[in-house]
Amino acid sequence: MVVEKELPLAGLVVVDMSQFLSGPYCTLRLMDLGARVIKIERPDGGDLSRRLYLSDSESGDSTIFHAINRSKESLAIDLKSERDMQALRKLISKADVLVQNFRPGVIERLGLDYEAAQEINPRLVYCSISGYGDEGPWVSRPGQDLLAQSRSGVMWLNGDEGQGPVPFGLAIGDMLAGAAAAQGILAALVRRGVTGKGGLVETSLLEALVDLQVEVLTVHMNSGNKLPQRSGFRSAHAYLSAPYGVYPAFDGYLAIAMTPISKLADLLAMNELAPYRDDPKSWFTARDDIKALISARIATRTVDEWLAILEPADIWCAKVLNWPELLQSEGFGVLDMLQTVGRDDGISVRTTRSPVRIDGQRPKFERAAPHVGEHNAAIWEEFDLG
């Protein structure tokens, strides 16, 4: 196991003034790379995501809060107290990175915008995550994931053509913005290592969601601005032809990616596909009809029976797993991506580990998320904040 002092960001201090998902996910990535993350929270309840939703945990904090705030430290700061704000400014003067995702105007009222923070600490790498950037008509709108997805166009890529817009089943805007922010911070830290100067890193949920669509949005802008045409039958990608999709087998679901219809027709023993074998254009123009024929055929056998036929022929296909099947699979098990984090009050949460391996090993941390203000006394003393 890689120990914390051996990780690339060991010794760096991150002041995390963010809450909910985007900022905390960013600082989680930095923590997994060795940084020390000090989470700034309100004394009266802390990060609002502590109460986002509860699972079987009886800690009073949501499971998602533990997942993205594991192994961080909590410093409770009353933003209306001048004494506490002076302490926070002193902490910032000794930090390497600051991350905030307040709504526009809030950080300025606190006197901790980039220009003010730079005066406190010229070496500071300052990161701001917003909903829609810092100008334009959407600036004051709530930077919430579902709303950002709604404005990004991404909902028209999911589901079948007749369904209308379909959101992703997870907070992709938040998570992608957090990942983009972490990339920007790492780049700014590298530059600081050369120049000695900090810098400003900015991103937003909307920018991250647009970047996610680089493949299909580029096609749209360079093909007469045609809107994506999702398949009306078991759609999986608006811009790819049949057989690309997920098909119900006798005992589960089978995903089939890019495959020539002529080759698939032979393997599936489907004379019904003869009209389309040598007409690649039809694989898109008639994809609903083709996929309906394939679906009827796939339904006659089990997933394993089809895999035994298709995989040896180098067809790109896979069984569609649910979470229990994934967690029990050998392919997932060898990655060793799970860990249990705990706290001194008996809280124990099973969660994921970093997706990044360092020197061949995946960092592992055992501490769950902190109580609000759990590290106040230690941090005040260590950084001489009084």
The count of residues in the chain is 386
Rounded distance between C-alpha atoms, residue 134 and residue 104, angstroms: 7
Q: Is 365:35 a contact under the CB 8 Å cutoff?
A: no
Residue 249's contacts (CB-CB under 8 Å, 6 or more residues apart) are: 298, 299, 301, 302, 303, 306
- Nearest Cα residue to 354 out of 13, 37, 27, 29: 29
Structure tokens at 162: 């007749």
In whole angstroms, what separates CA 216 from the centre of its chain? 20
Residue environment code for 208-224, b if the CB has 16+ CB neighbours within 10 A, otherwise e: bbbebbeebbeebeeee
* HEC profile of 125-173: EEEEEECCCCCCCCCCCCCCHHHHHHHHCHHHHCCCHHHCCCCCCCCHH
Residue 55 carries which DSSP code?
Answer: -
- 304 counts as catalytic: no
Handedness of CA 167, 168, 170, 176 (dihedral sign): negative
Handedness of CA 312, 318, 227, 290 (dihedral sign): positive
Q: Is 102:40 a contact under the CB 8 Å cutoff?
A: no
In degrees and rounded to multiples of 5, residue 206 shows phi and psi of -65, -45
Structure tokens at 17: 């003034």
Query: What pairing do the DSSP bridges indicate for beta strands 97-100 and 125-130?
Result: parallel
Structure tokens at 289: 């009809």
Residue 257's contacts (CB-CB under 8 Å, 6 or more residues apart) are: 244, 316, 317
In three-state secondary structure terms, 289 is: helix
Cα distances (Å, whole numbers) of residue 147 to 150, 168, 348: 5, 12, 33
Catalytic residue chosen out of the listed positions 174, 279, 304, 314 = 174
List the catalytic residues. 174
